[in-house]
Amino acid sequence: MTAVRSDPAVASPPPSPALPQQGPPSARPASFAPMREVRKSLRVKWYRTPIEKATLWELMERSDRKGFTQTLGHIGLAAALGALAAFFFIQGQWLLFGVFLWLFGTVRTFLSGPANHELGHGAVFRTPVLNRFFLRILSVLTFWNYNEYRMSHTYHHRYTLHADGDREVLLPLDPSLHPLVVLEMLTFNLRGMWRQIRFTVRTAMGRFDSGMTVGAMGSTAWIETLADVHPDTYRAAIRLARVTLLFHAAVIAVSIATGFWWLAIVITGGNWIGNWYRYLLAQTQHAGLRDNIPDFRLCVRSLRIDPLSSFLYWHMDRHAEHHMYAGVPCYNMAALGREIAWDTPRPRTPLAAWREMYAARRRQKTDPDYQFDTPLPPTANPPMLSEAHVPTPPAGAGAMAASIGTMDPDDDVEGSLGQGAAAGG
């Protein structure tokens, strides 16, 4: 393990599990260059495990059939559990209602982050309109403002853990199992609900909260910075926030008017019930790892989980592989992982990942410069600690490998590799 530079964390209260990978609420008082300048000057020459072009094209192939299996399978499972919860509510069988409501929430919460993330990349369905349709439906249902997210997440891919360009995630993160966080994760995420609704209201009003510096969505200073760069996308975010609030206000109004309280509990409240498993998995993506290096193998963590969990997580357990080749659909991530396993770290179990994160965070309390060096297999190419060590990809291969699908607001042409892809390659 090697100590490398990392700014110290600012003390903060236990984080809410509503929006994983946000970093400390009051981020470091760093002075960042204007984003318009960063976009022109910062180019990261990323290392990507070599892969045959024909193999990569095959892995990047999208399928409507597989997209429907993933999307409708997940929605159908959540709907079935929600219907059972509603049935037992109507029957007054409160124990069974509680059990199925908790199971429903555990499954439903993955429709927020992982599902909207993958649909936002536009790589789930071969037919572009299907990606857009399900993204819009799930975004309103789950308070997920995909217009804010696509602004932030484009730079998270382009500049992963380079703080000048990526303020979606700022290290060091503080993975918390504080008793209050655990209680919220296992039951009802009250603080997460308050924060998400407050963010949505402020976005609907076109206002920002300067007290929150980082994060993928919400009325944060980071989103304010991006709104200046992408004003049209931010105006779309305002409209989406208003539609979201109107939809859930209508759900609550109908519930009150009809006495069908289960409608509001399942449709709106379901966003913050049983967030525990998504939090447990998503917090492992970057915590404790290295920043300001051009090697995804060292700054992103993959997990080893069971097939059902991988399905619910939309296969983002292969997170390092996703960052390396973001144009590969989620259902092909396991195949991609096998193809490049010789050069990538062995995926951790969730328990091993949390132990690794906690060990790194404990050491950072006394040694703020410490970051964890992820071991690579003996067959792997050496770690790329600077861009000088990164080999130049073959002509024409960089843009294809660096594709992030249709996430980039600069790229409104469906299916194009776009500026976001070229900038990363």
The H or E element that residue 315 is part of is none
Q: Which residues make Cβ contacts (< 8 Å) with residue 260, sequence separation at least 6?
A: 254
- By residue count, the chain amounts to 425
Q: Give the pLDDT score at 216.
A: 85
Sign of CA dihedral 75, 415, 309, 214: negative
Q: Give the pLDDT score at 396.
A: 63
Q: DSSP labels for 128-194?
A: HHHHHHHHHHHHHHHT--HHHHHHHHHHHHHTTT-TTT--SS-SSP-----HHHHHHHHSB-HHHHH
Distance CA 133, CA 113 (A): 16
Distance CA 425, CA 356 (A): 30
Distance CA 216, CA 116 (A): 12
| Alpha-carbon separation of residue 172 from 101, 307, 367 (angstroms) | 35, 30, 12
Of 418, 421, 378, 380, give the one whose Cα is nearest residue 398.
421
Where in 177-275 does DSSP place strands (E)? Answer: none
Distance CA 19, CA 407 (A): 19
Cross-strand bridge partners of residue 273: 188
Sign of CA dihedral 224, 232, 45, 113: positive
- Low-confidence stretches of the chain (pLDDT beneath 70): 1-30, 211-212, 395-397, 412-425
Report pLDDT digits (tens) over 139-154.
999 999 999 999 999 9
Chain centre distance of CA 313: 10
Q: Give the pLDDT score at 30.
A: 53
Distance CA 176, CA 20 (A): 11
Sign of CA dihedral 55, 59, 62, 64: positive
Q: Give the pLDDT score at 424.
A: 39
- Which letter, b or e, does each residue of 206-218 get, where b requires 16 or more Cβ atoms within 10 Å of its Cβ? eebbeebbbbbbb
Distance CA 193, CA 190 (A): 5
What angle, rounded to 10 degrees, do the helices at 146-158 and 221-229 form?
90
Distance CA 173, CA 17 (A): 13
Distance CA 270, CA 330 (A): 25
Which token pair is 20? Answer: 């994983």
Q: Give the pLDDT score at 13.
A: 40
Which token pair is 293? Answer: 């290096």
Q: Give the pLDDT score at 23.
A: 44
Distance CA 193, CA 164 (A): 30
Distance CA 425, CA 324 (A): 10
Residue extents of the structural domains in the chain: 41-424
Tell me the HSE value of 341 on the side-chain side, using a 13 A CA sphere: 9
Cross-strand bridge partners of residue 3: 370
- Which letter, b or e, does each residue of 369-378 get, where b requires 16 or more Cβ atoms within 10 Å of its Cβ? ebbbebebee
